[in-house]
Structure 1
Amino acid sequence: MRAHLLAARLAGHIATSREKSLRRYRLFAARDPRALIGLEPEGEWPVPALIALMAQQCGVSADPATVSGPDTIDPDRTIDALDAFAARLRSAAERRIPVLLGTGHPGRLLDFYASLASALSSAGCTVLTPAEGRRIDITTRFGVRPCSLGYVRGVALVREAGVRHVAGAPGAPGAHTHSPLPVRTVLADAIAAGGPLPELVIGDHGWVCAAGQLGIEAIGPADTDDPALFVGQAEGQVSVAVPVDDAVRSVHYRPLTRYVLNRARLSQ
């Protein structure tokens, strides 16, 4: 696994730049919603504290004077986090709890989550799919982006209004987003319908942070420019944040899927 992480640039020197990560740290320190993605930090997190945290949990450079070049992820930290991630999957399967899976990276991570959804369903967990088709207006720096919530193979995602995805055609089945609104919409719909609510949320970006902030156990991968998940983990709102580049080709996540399912004893 360590060799694959380095060869695929899921860890080691990754495509995410130090400049991009530092820009997101500054936004997070300023409590910008674009970087908080649903988290409401309890403590103060100035940029130096964020750099120290990310160095500890991801393996990025701890030197504030390092301001350019590729960011780094320690593959051993990734493997440790994958083991913890697998342990939470195993616990969910043993308890047969309802789970929710959602992604803001459908073009890269959909297959990863869909495999987990299938394995957990086979183990007796209910994979929840509330609020399908519900409209969600996501605010971006370019204005409001009208979207609808959908599910592909048990995984929630958002689709931009007016953009049709044809089964079997190339391209992502949904839109990239960091927004916490999708998971909030899903949970509100589940409550209105009388439940059940998920006892575990598996995803990325706002799916993890917003669910964790609401007291639901949440786990998922996170890149070095996603400090919210690691702050959430440090403060106890997020159970497991796996440091990994979240934007490489989807095929490179297949060994991670096999690894966590094997570790969770959920291989199909």
Structure 2
Amino acid sequence: MHRRLLLAAGAALPVAARAQSAVPAMASFSILGDLLREVGGERVAAGVIAGPDTDTHHFQPRPSHAEALRGARIAIRNGAGFDAWFDRLLASTRFAGVTVTATEGLALRPATGHSHGGKDPHAWQDVRLAIGYVRNIEAGLLRADPAGAEVYRARAADYARRLEALDGWIRAQVATVPEARRVVVTSHDAFGYFGAAYGVRFLAPQGMSADAEPSAQQVAALIRMIRAQGVTAVFLENIGNPATLRRLAQEAGVRVRGRLYADALSAPDGPAASYEAMMRANVGLLVPAMRGEG
């Protein structure tokens, strides 16, 4: 993990140097970075602070990250308490560029687990809300670089159409699962928006904090429910400690069906190297598991 963070930092540092004419921009974490690249295209030199397969909840930026941010003209954060460390980084560097909060103006769900200022920050798990992220990023780029307005508007519109198609595909895939079987157990509670948008019930032995420890009573209750309802969709996530979920699956007599991507993309050679790829990879695992296949 330490080596991955160093690589991520290295990728972020030459943002301004990559292209003299490109607008230097920084995103707090990998999913936002991908959305930023989709809207900005070659006109934007997009960097990311917390890179792929990195726990953004508890990320600790280093001085090199502050230096990268100082060179940017626009900074993108998720907000809703998800990347509060990025807020502190903005303050410590006295960032004077355009700051975009990707969740601004979106209808956020109340936090059901550990508090993020009272709101669930994982809004990108509903593709319709991710389109709202795209619109906020577009508006920020228009402020930071008005000369690129035509490019940003065209790319944002094209990307929004692709995401609308992705949203429809997810709905069609989930519809192939009988409603009573749309139950999934995951490591921590990061899929509330997906569940609300697409009609899937997600349960987690941990709350929204990936390192929270559930009580023995919570684990026992979840095991009883898995057995009683015949839940077959049990998943790890690419972030966090898998020990609790592995123990729960063993005691419930079910197998872990794979690894979902919740809070970060995969490395470029992985199955979730972009936001679209992440959502398709997750659905490709979830649907057959909920149906009890394999």
TM superposition score normalised by structure 2: 0.27
Higher relative contact order (CA 8 A, sep 6+): 1
TM superposition score normalised by structure 1: 0.28
Name the structure where strand makes up a greater proportion of residues. 1
Structure whose CA Rg is larger: 2
